[in-house]
Chains A and B, each alone.
Chain A
Amino acid sequence: MQPNTPCLDAHYYDGRSSRRQPVRLSVDDAHLLLDSPEGVRRSIPAAAVRASEAQGSAPRTLRFVNDNAFCEVGQGPELDALLTALCHRDSIAVRLQNRWRWALASLASIALILLAAYFWGLPWGAKFIAPHVPVTAMRSLSDETLAQLDKYLFKPSALPEDRRRKLQDDFQKFAAADPGLAPYGDRLVLSFRASPAIGPNAFALPGGQIVLLDELVALYDDDAEILAILGHELGHLSKRHGIRMLIQSSAVAVISAAWLGDISYAVGAVSGALLSSGYSRDMEREADDYAAERLRQRGESPALLASALEKLEAAHHHLRRAQKDRDKDGGGGGEKYLDWLSSHPNTGERIRQLRENP
């Protein structure tokens, strides 16, 4: 054995029994030499030696191709020298995971990927998938949602029967002109409700129902403005925003459950809800554009929706003011802190857009 070749002690196992034999390893002429006082004498070509990846400070193994025997070697500079002599090279992944620099770079990359996926990938993917989801799949979900809302938030509408019939007829005529709404079938109806707790509002459920609250009807003298608002809601249905939001929130729920599920399902669920509340800015704009286009087709001006939104905004402003006054007496004010989380688009901006494109 030449004095300049690396040389170290290891354990040798033959693969047939659990017997542990001390063995001395060295390298000579591109061969790994095994030598033990108990009689193991082997010479293995460097190309047939497979070194295990370094796993922390655990001993590494040197296995040999087509052989159950192997050596177990403690880590240290001697082993590194031996592996260098055997021309062993760690894989890229191993070299990355050995350095804090690369680990932290990986962490930063994962954070960036997650952010990009959330802000761009997810909306894009949902937009791509949504047209292929049959709207019938949303029916039971919508019915359940409406039943829940009826139970806790909604009251029966107090509008007179003939007023309701007139609005329903106008709505159906408005909707029938868009073949894109045909898949919703007989679920595409106007559902009349009242809710002092919510105030003037209208909602589109992904199954096709549009809920119109008495408070909103009371806000307008002209039915054309109500129809403009309903046109906006029909935009959400036609562009399948509900389904898109559902796809997005499911994806967020699955990913956060996979990441945080080990802590608690509750944490995962809460983060999922926080990350996906309400329609996005883009969806609201898309629904506005849809309503404006439909109004133009009917020979009406998109400014109708603008003025309807203006009145709605004023009514909500008034409500919030009243709420704030009440909060001053009784503490509270949680809404203020949640405001930045909700994706309510800037109504002023929307109104300006509608006015500028007659």
Chain B
Amino acid sequence: MQADTLPLLPDDAPAGPHSGPATTDDAAPARQDEAPVEYRLRFTGTGDEYFRIWIVNLLLSILTFGIYSAWAKVRREQYFHRNTLLDGSGFDYHGEPKAILKGRIIAVALLGTLALVDKFAHDFYPLALIALPLIPWLMIRSFVFRSRNTSFRGLHFDFHGTYKGLCKAYLVPFLVFIALAGTVAAVAAVIYTTTELTGMEGAFRMLVFRKILSGVSLLGMFLLISMLLHRLKAFQFNNLAFGASCFESWFKLKSFYGIYLRVSVLFPLLVVLAFAPILVTLLLLAGIPVGGVRGIAPGIVPSIAFAVLIIAIALMYILLLIGPQAWFAVLQNNLIWNKTRLDKHRFKSDQTFWRFFWVLAGNLLFMILTLGLYWPWARVKIARYRAEHTAVLAAGSLDDFVAGATREKSAVGEEVAEIFDFDFGF
């Protein structure tokens, strides 16, 4: 295997294949005849390079009133695709600038119409609901455009998901939602009509019922969001293909419950628990009363405590702002890639929360300090972290994939999705 890897890059050596321990932690439907070889992804881009590309293309986009932005997008995608290397070969992006421009024009026209209707004919805004059935279609077009325009070693990815398939995937969560909302409404109606809710005792009962109802609704939303996300990711990955080979994923719904529970409940709880004693101490030292107790500290201690308090609050804010986002991305990527295969090859994702959190926190800090000019470096850092913590566990050679049928690709869905800020990235 190593013999046919030519030294394409001067620093190619560390990227060469090396045997890694096979991760067979659970009952994976993978046939493993021989020990898999681990090929780690590598990212060779740098912030300096990408800054130059970004700023020049931004200027050209401004000078052409946005028309050039389609070409700029292709260049950006190509930069990130080509600089991502697997076993010495780069990925590639083939989006057509003209197709993207067409998609963008349609997307802007659509968004403009919606905004105008919202602003000047608000009563007609509900008519926009007619566009709702278009959303699954847009999502699928976006997946298709992105996958078909991505290639590796001359073979294109593809997406086989259908409108019907996506609707079917969403049918069960939708029915659960209807059932849940219906039950909550029915229970509420029964309680309100059969129980005495006046007077002191009645008011108290009313309060308890309300709390229970909102608790049930919150739990329902939590289950529903996990279910939707699980179904969407399963739809995405089980319909993805590389050449004629199909990806297969087997991550479970309960894993998504776990992710959501950790990110939305456990994380804020831990942060608050960790910071509460520190904040209380600092407040007391600064001479600010807490719950009727007022601390007295001599000399300049209160001023110092106050300064530290501000820093502590800022830290807590940053932790709560990007912590859940970082943890969610890490947990989800690890879950999905560790339970996905392509033919007999498997994947490995070993991102860790703190490392990724530091990447995001550093990016946030420098973005603020540079008024947004740090953006290219920030993107490169994220791409590098993601690549370096993703690997292919190849069972045999990567030479044996064959091409699938080639099909057309339109950028409308992709561009509309982008402008409405949907992120369906793989």
| Residues of A participating in the B interface, judged by any CB pair closer than 8 Å | 9-11, 13-22, 52-53, 55-59, 61, 68-70, 72-74, 76, 93, 96-100, 102-103, 106-107, 109-110, 113, 134, 137, 259-260, 262-264, 267
Question: In the docked arrangement, what's the CA distance between A59 and B79, Å?
Answer: 11
Interface residue B273 (Cβ < 8 Å from any Cβ of A): no
Mask of B389-406 contacts with A, CB within 8 angstroms, 1/0: 000000000111111000
Given the known inter-chain contacts A57-B9, A267-B368, please indicate yes or no for A100 contacting B52, CB distance below 8 A.
Answer: yes
Which of chain B's residues has its CB closest to A137's CB?
Answer: B120
In contact, A106 and B399 (Cβ under 8 angstroms) = no
Q: Does B152 contact A (CB under 8 A)?
A: yes
Chain B residues with Cβ under 8 A from A260's Cβ? 371-372
Chain A residue, CB-CB nearest to B84: A58
A22 close to B4 (CB less than 8 A): yes
Q: Is B176 an interface residue (CB 8 A)?
A: no
Docked-complex contact A134 and B372, CB < 8 angstroms: no
Q: How far is the CA of A14 from the CA of B401 in the complex (A)?
A: 12
Total interface residues in chain B, CB < 8 Å: 53
| Residue B35 at the chain A interface, CB threshold 8 Å | no
Q: What's the Cα separation between A85 and B301 when bound, in Å?
A: 73
Question: Bound complex: CA of A19 vs CA of B51, how far in Å?
Answer: 34
27 example contacts (A-B, Cβ-Cβ < 8 A) are as follows A13-B154, A16-B403, A17-B154, A52-B82, A55-B78, A55-B79, A55-B82, A56-B49, A57-B44, A57-B83, A58-B79, A58-B82, A59-B90, A70-B154, A72-B8, A72-B90, A74-B7, A74-B9, A93-B71, A100-B52, A102-B52, A103-B52, A106-B59, A107-B373, A110-B58, A110-B59, A260-B372
The chain B residue with its CB closest to the CB of A11 is B6
Is B340 interfacial (CB 8 A cutoff)? Answer: no
Q: How far is the CB of A97 from chain B (nearest CB, A)?
A: 4
- Considering the chains assembled together, what is the distance between the CA atoms of A141 and B119 in angstroms? 10
Bound state CA distance, A93 and B10, in angstroms? 27
Check A113 against B62 for contact (C-beta < 8 Å).
Answer: yes
Interface string of B12-31 (1 = CB under 8 A from A): 00000000000000000000
Q: How far is the CA of A59 from the CA of B11 in the complex (A)?
A: 12
List of B residues within 8 angstroms of A68 by Cβ: 154, 403
- Which B-chain residue is minimally distant from A23 (CB atoms)? B6
- Docked-complex contact B53 and A18, CB < 8 angstroms: no
**Which chain B residues border A18 with CB–CB below 8 Å?**
152-155, 243, 398-402
Enumerate chain A residues within 8 angstroms of B119, measured Cβ to Cβ. Answer: 137
Q: In this assembly, does B367 line the interface, its C-beta being within 8 Å of a C-beta of chain A?
A: yes
Contact B85 A93 (CB under 8 A): no
Taking CB atoms, residues of chain A closer than 8 Å to B88 are 11
